[in-house]
Chain A
Amino acid sequence: MTDRITRWLAYGIFVLLLAILTLVFYVVWTGVLGPLPPRTYVERDLQRLETMVEEKPQVEQVWRDYLRALIVAGQYSKAHRVVEEGRSVLASATAIVDVEEARLLNSEGNPDEAMAILDAAIESQANLLDEQIAELAARSIRASRASLPGGDTLVDAHILRAQILSTLGRWDEATEAYTEALDLDPVMADVLVARGYAYVESGQADKARKDFERALEFIPGLETAAAGLKEIEQ
């Protein structure tokens, strides 16, 4: 004859088994294990970009967009796999993937490693663009880094570097990095605002004001720029 404790233990096992079966039934019932339509904007974006990467693997920007979407969705493991895949597919033009890997590492809380990758990417991309400029100059064609394909990758790299430096509180270096980006593309209102706030943090109110005002010239009424000006006045 079984005693009371043994009986209760058996009941407990039975209840747990039932709970496990209920959970499995529920997961199967939702159909989440099969191919699903997207349930959110982020999922739809991921599905769309994954399809684009499959269809146009040679287009660098598609890898960039896909990696950014994965980082936004917090799917870091998959993003690492896509980084490797992107490197193997793009072969010679991997700076765009390097920048996104740095973004990924920074999102994972590893800014030092991110900075190391970014510095290398900036140097290689700048050299690549300079070589192209020299080749064009030999054919009497004038070009700048920003005007060449791949120039936007260099801009992205400088902006990301500035953002990482800002989160580390290294404001002077951050403003320098923002300046590098703005030298390449001077009409980015959001970057002007970001540099403005970096100037505020480093105690250079006059430079900050100029950046906020310039941003407002590009986008009248830009809330972040107006808020920055208000902050300086206070």
Chain B
Amino acid sequence: MTTAIVDRESGTGRTRMVLIAILVLLFLLLMVLAIFAYRLLQPAGKPDAESLPPGIEWVRSIYGYGPSEAEQFYRPEDADIAPDGTIWGVDSAHTRILGFNPDGSFKVMISTGGRADQPGRMQLVSGIATDEDGNVFACDFGREKVISFSEEGEFLLEWDVPLPIECDVRGDTVAVCTAYGVALFDRKGTPITKFGTRGSREEQFDGPHGIALGEDGTVYVSDTENNRVKAYTQDGDLLWIRGVKRSEAAGETEDESPFQIPAGMTVDDNGRVVLVDPFQFQILVLDPNNAGEVVGEYGDFGTEDGRFVYPTGIGYDASRDWFVVADTTNDRLQVVRIPGSSSNPFSAIRRLLTGPWWICSIPLILLLIAFLVAASSRRRRSGEESAQLDARSPQGLGVSTEGKGESTQAV
């Protein structure tokens, strides 16, 4: 009997040793794999926080969908982000629109060929926007049309707009800035209103390259060649001008402009107007409640990631609190964050939860929860069994629960 017990104990000891060895080996394997994965996933030349211009947090750059030059962006003019996080970029020189997942992986390409008069064909797309259903609206300056595509890239419809440059969609309203002014449509292309003529007077526009719709319906326009930003009601009533103001007599500049050539714009989660100025190589933030006063300037010239060379378009993703910038002359899209764009104090936590590590850790977390529940129920059951044994013990079963040795001897 004693020999059997000793054998069993030495067998248990051997089992433990084997298990410990396996545990250590697996742990080492996990560490090696983690280091290997980290080195693979860290891109070469990833900018560190100190090397970035103040206020800019670089998330990632998107250069294209493949390693060859034909698969990469060349002079992208505009970018936007759909509600599901899809990042869209206009690959202007290649006459296509590329869609990427929030992690930067390629998703879909919109590239229509065929005859010039064929519906849905793109010729010279300069601006895009997405609606709440994820559909993409493209301004084709060459064919003078606004063309809409589904989120899978299928052609939906198109309508005529003279010289459209840039557009934005909010709710059922599509706002388009053209070489001559602003036009509003519903998403089916039915005209709602239009205002503006070409020129430099306050009510006029010259080559506007940015438009954004505020939550209250305000229409913000980058009046690019006139070096100013303007805000309108949807009826075309001017609310404010920031930048160069010219009188009826024309030519008289009333104030200095904080812009050189304001271009693509969007509205962030706090209702601020955020635009890019290609000649300042910066993202500028305007306070719409204070007549468009510039409250933030972020970015600097450079070819390194986190810097810009002639950026022309910008879009915003409220759920991830990041912007996508069409960094045109650097031939890339850049996903960056700037301070104060989110109204949600928990946005930092939310950012973590939307990351890919979170998705991968879900099974692990579920397993840990299951493990803890199992361990706790096992402990409870074992407690109940002990209590039952205690209750039986005085009735002469001769089983003690005080210690294993005593218990074994009693048996």
Contacts and interface: CB of A to CB of B under 8 A. Distances in A.
Interface of A: 2-3, 5-6, 9-13, 15-20, 22-27, 29-33, 35-44, 46-48, 72-75
Closest 8 CB pairs of A and B: A42-B45, A39-B43, A9-B19, A16-B26, A73-B44, A40-B45, A26-B360, A40-B43
A70 B100 CA distance: 28
B40 A32 contact: yes
Given A10-B19, A47-B67, 4 more contacts: A26-B37, A39-B63, A42-B45, A44-B63
A9 B371 contact: no
Contacts of B43: 38-40, 42-43
Contacts of B45: 40-43, 72-73
Interface string B21-35: 011001101100110
A17 B26 contact: yes
21 contacts: A6-B15, A9-B19, A13-B23, A15-B364, A19-B364, A20-B33, A23-B30, A29-B360, A30-B41, A30-B356, A35-B67, A37-B63, A37-B66, A38-B72, A40-B47, A40-B305, A41-B45, A41-B330, A42-B45, A43-B44, A44-B332
A72 B72 CA distance: 23
Nearest to A30: B41
B44 A75 contact: yes
B411 to A, nearest CB: 14
A23 B19 contact: no
Q: Of A33, A44, A72, A73, which is in contact with the most chain B CB atoms at under 10 Å from its CB?
A: A44
B152 interface: no
B12 interface: yes
A42 B356 CA distance: 24
A63 B61 CA distance: 26
Interface string B276-317: 000000000000000000000000000111000000000000
The A interface, classified by DSSP as helix, strand, loop or mixed, is helix
Interface string B86-115: 000000000000000001111000000000
Contact of A22 (B16, B19, B66, B364): B364
Q: How large is the interface on B (under 10, 10 to 19, 20 to 34, 35 or more residues)?
A: 35 or more
A5 B16 contact: yes
Contacts, number: 118
Interface in B45-73: 45-47, 60-67, 69, 71-72
A40 B46 contact: yes
A28 B33 CA distance: 12
Contacts of B47: 40
B372 to A, nearest CB: 11
Contacts of B361: 22
A35 B361 CA distance: 26
A123 B259 CA distance: 54
B394 interface: no
A7 B76 CA distance: 58
Nearest to B66: A37
Contact of B103 (A30, A38, A48): A30
A11 B371 contact: yes
B367 interface: yes
Interface in B346-398: 356-357, 360-361, 363-364, 367-368, 371
Interface in B1-26: 12, 15-16, 19-20, 22-23, 26
A18 B367 contact: yes
Contacts of B44: 40, 42-43, 46, 73-75
A79 to B, nearest CB: 12
A29 B358 CA distance: 13
A35 B66 contact: yes
Nearest to B371: A11
B55 to A, nearest CB: 20
A186 B232 CA distance: 58
A210 to B, nearest CB: 30
Contacts of A74: 44
B105 A31 contact: yes
A38 B63 contact: yes
A226 B305 CA distance: 28
A92 to B, nearest CB: 32
A220 to B, nearest CB: 18
